[in-house]
Amino acid sequence: MIDKLEYTNKHELIYLDQTLLPLKQKYHKTKSYKDAAEAIRKLQIRGAPLIGIAAAYAVVMGVHHYDTDNRKNFEIHFYKITETLRNSRPTAKNLFYALDRMIKVFEENIKKDFIEIEDLLLREADAIYDEDAEMCKRIGVNGAVLLGEKSTVLTHCNAGELATGGIGTALGIIYTAQKQGKDIFVYADETRPLLQGSRLTAFELNENGIDFDIITDSMAANLMKEQVIDCVIVGADRIASNGDVVNKVGSYSLAVNAAYHKIPFYVAAPGSTIDFDILTGEEINIEERSPDEITRVNGEKITSDKYGVMNPAFDLVPNELVTAIVTEYKVHYPPYNFGGIKQMFQSYVQVQRSESETE
């Protein structure tokens, strides 16, 4: 497994800088929750589940390195930490899922000693990390049945080890199928503008001994026409209750092309990516990032700053284009309702709201 994130007993967060891969494998170390939020914003730490895990540890770190005897100040500081992290990236549900779990632990134990609260928060962050690794394993097993003995899979962005606490979601399915003896070949979309496909997916497929080719995003439709793709598998940043999926920009285009060529379009994600508070994907806040990510390559300007640029990080795949969604529970087919999972993943904030509504 690639070492991507570690929380040490000195209350430091060590993380692999994903903006430099694959050419440099550089680790940063910090004791500051603000640095962790900035690392998430800059995509040094990225991928929906990993963002959530990092944020959970950043909460513990922020609490540990704050010195006070005053309970009111302690509380104010706690919410300052969670707000800072909440504002680091707006789309991935897992960030909010993890922060809500940390807030719940804090609020349920608010009367205890500070040391004890910190300890409980650390246990919760560890649990979020471990549970995510376990969810990935189960997604891998559930999804591997969708792949034939010899399969060619197209994937987009990076939904693998680097993006999660475990083996990944979309790539976890590929690793599991390969371990089961299936012969898998992957086309990895380079994923403009930040090249998570040609940098990160390629890096980890290579580390895991999977055969692959990197392709430009615009080659995908033609490969589908030539009938070399058996299925598309991508991850997700947020899934609405109706199965609408928001994932890395370019996912919609792939889904439309897959539907046209009658190729299954699968989404792999843990329950913690499903947002039961929203009915459709239209309600999801799509992050708009800096134009520099498009006007520059490796910091070098490639076009004029005077030109207008749009840079949404994600796009919405409507549920009718999604053949199936693989979670740690099962393979879900349309119409999506995720019955049974809802109780487990409904957000703390929502639960609070409905409880007070019924009072």
The least CB distance from residue 116 to ligand MRU, in Å, is 33
Stretch that binds ligand MRU, among 159-167, 178-186, 208-216, 317-325 (CB under 6 A): 159-167
| Whole-angstrom distance, CA of residue 197 vs CA of residue 77 | 38
User: Which residue from 60, 85, 103, 163 is in contact with ligand MRU, where contact means CB under 6 A?
Assistant: 163
As a whole number of angstroms, the distance between CA 13 and CA 131 comes to 19
CB of 329 within 8 A of CB of 274?
Answer: no
Which member of 169, 176, 178, 257 binds ligand MRU (CB under 6 A)? 169
Nearer to ligand MRU, 48 or 102 (CB): 48
CB of 52 to ligand MRU, least distance (A): 10
The edge-to-edge listing of strands for the beta sheet with 13-16 is 5-7, 13-16, 27-30
Tell the smallest beta-carbon distance from residue 107 to ligand MRU (Å).
Answer: 28
* Binding to ligand MRU in span 220-249, by CB under 6 A: 234-237, 247-248
28 in the Ramachandran plot: left (φ > 0), alpha (ψ -120 to 50) or beta? beta
Out of 4, 49, 272, 323, the only residue in the binding site for ligand MRU (CB under 6 A) is 49
215 SS3 class: strand
Query: If binding is defined by CB under 6 A, does position 313 make contact with ligand MRU?
Result: yes
Site for ligand MRU in 27-46 (CB under 6 A): 43, 46
Nearer to ligand MRU, 64 or 248 (CB): 248
Pairwise CA distance, residues 91 & 136, whole Å:
20
> Is residue 93 part of the contact set for ligand MRU (CB under 6 A)?
no
- Under 8 Å CB-to-CB from 47, ≥6 apart: which residues? 158, 159, 160, 162, 163, 164, 235
Hey, is 207 helix, strand or coil?
A: helix
Q: Is 237 a catalytic residue?
A: yes
The two structure tokens encoding residue 126: 């560890």
81 or 95: whose CB is closer to ligand MRU?
95
DSSP code of residue 287: P
Among 44, 164, 295, 327, binds ligand MRU (CB under 6 A): 164
Touching ligand MRU, residues 135-154 (CB under 6 A): none
| 272 near ligand MRU (CB under 6 A) | no
Report d(CA 102, CA 252) in Å as an integer. 33
Rg of the chain, C-alpha, whole Å: 20
Q: Which of 189, 230, 237, 244 is catalytic?
A: 237
65 close to 31: Cβ distance less than 8 angstroms: yes
Closest CA to 177 of 202, 197, 153: 153
Is there binding between residue 157 and ligand MRU (CB under 6 A)?
yes
Q: What residues line the site for ligand MRU (CB under 6 A)?
A: 43, 46-49, 92, 157, 159, 163-164, 169, 196, 234-237, 247-248, 313
Q: Give catalytic residue positions.
A: 237
